[in-house]
Amino acid sequence: MLLSRRHFVALPLAALLPHRVNSQPALGPLITRAIPSSGEALPAVGLGTAYVFNRDDGETRQKAGEVLQALVSGGGRLIDTASTYGDAESVLGSVVATSGMRERLFLATKVEAPSVSEFKRSLARLRVAQVDLLQLHNVRDARQSLAQFREWKAQGLCRYIGITSTFHQDFAAVEAVLKNEKPEFVQIDYSIDNRVAEERILPLAADVRAGVLTAVPLGRARLFRAVRGQPIPEWAREFSATWAEFFLKFLLADERITAVIPGTSSAEHMAENLGAMRGRLPSADERKRMASFVATL
């Protein structure tokens, strides 16, 4: 499965959101994080689109519209996509343009190289004149320059620039580019059972004041497979009403994380993920207990 939860029968969004509210009343304000370079507040749960909206057809656009409505209705803003995610940019561009949501979104995309033609294609597919965040995808060269990205920012084509990698063998390059180029964001893979970035990337990102986005924060499907049929531990129920909240709040309890971006094509799962922005986060001791619990699965 491409989604990270059990298969479900799709329901209208209006039927889904009241169910979420009834399962756990909203507690307190939404959790937001300040982007380190600017202080701009960003809701801490967003949407990733890798493998989610690959095909530009009516069914996919309908699902994307439902997911984006759930995102915005639940207080989220951030959508992360890429030029290489199949037709995702085109699908999102169509939905955003016809829904009038653009001003309510923080739109991020990625290009594979500092290529004018590639970036122009992304802007055209997204149907926007500016993205909020432009990222260099899968950094591999420790000497990589971001000069072209800074030029695009100066031209008003993007508001922030960043780099990404989900390949641990390339983390040395990521570290070098963070130190030398000081991008405003870095996106890495990070989940409760995949914590390599905790030791290498997060401390450096904090030092250079880069916001951190976490790809695959739900560990693709493996975390949900590991807990299938199990109730949430009693000691975790004070801060987690669902397994999605359990896994996402583990990450958000680290204040160096700016936002988590789990991917989904389900409005129900989008609403469930957004629950991680409500209520309290686990303490340091609870976080250790969460990690120990997952390690035994």
Q: Flag whether pLDDT at 11 surpasses 80.
A: no
Return the percentage of the chain with pLDDT > 90, whole number.
89
- Please give the model's pTM, rounded to 2 decimal places: 0.89
Q: Flag whether pLDDT at 16 surpasses 70.
A: no
**Model confidence at 5, in pLDDT bands (50, 70, 90)?**
very low
All structural domains of the chain: 41-220+256-265 (3.20.20.100)
Residue 143 φ then ψ, to 5°: -100, 15
DSSP string, the chain: --SSS-------HHHHHHHHHHHS---SSPPEEE-TTT--EEESB-EE-TTTS-S-SHHHHHHHHHHHHHHHHTT--EEE--TTSTTHHHHHHHHHHHHT-GGG-EEEEEESSS-HHHHHHHHHHHT-S-EEEEEE-S---TT---HHHHHHHHTTSEEEEEEEE--GGGHHHHHHHHHHH--SEEEEE-BTTB-HHHHHHHHHHHHTT-EEEEESTTTTTHHHHHTTTPPPPGGGTTT-SSHHHHHHHHHHTSTT--EE--B-S-HHHHHHHHGGGSSPPPPHHHHHHHHHHHHT-
Return the percentage of the chain with pLDDT > 70, whole number.
91
Question: What are the pLDDT digits (tens) for 21-59?
Answer: 333 444 578 999 999 999 999 999 999 999 999 999 999
When pLDDT is averaged across residues 6-31 and rounded to a whole number, the result is 45
Q: Flag whether pLDDT at 7 surpasses 60.
A: no
- Residue 244, Cα to own-chain centre: how many angstroms? 14
CB 242 within 8 A of CB 251: no
Question: What are the pLDDT digits (tens) for 146-205?
Answer: 999 999 999 999 999 999 999 999 999 999 999 999 999 999 999 999 999 999 999 999
When pLDDT is averaged across residues 240-260 and rounded to a whole number, the result is 97
Residue 143 CB neighbours (<10 A): 9
| Model pLDDT, residue 220 | 79
Question: What are the pLDDT digits (tens) for 87-127?
Answer: 999 999 999 999 999 999 999 999 999 999 999 999 999 99
Q: Flag whether pLDDT at 255 surpasses 60.
A: yes
Mean pLDDT of the chain: 91
| Model pLDDT, residue 77 | 98
| Model pLDDT, residue 27 | 54
Q: Measured between alpha carbons, how far is residue 130 from residues 13, 94, 165, 185, 193 in Å?
A: 29, 15, 23, 17, 36
Pairing between β-strand 41-43 and β-strand 106-111 as defined by DSSP bridges: unpaired
| Model pLDDT, residue 221 | 79
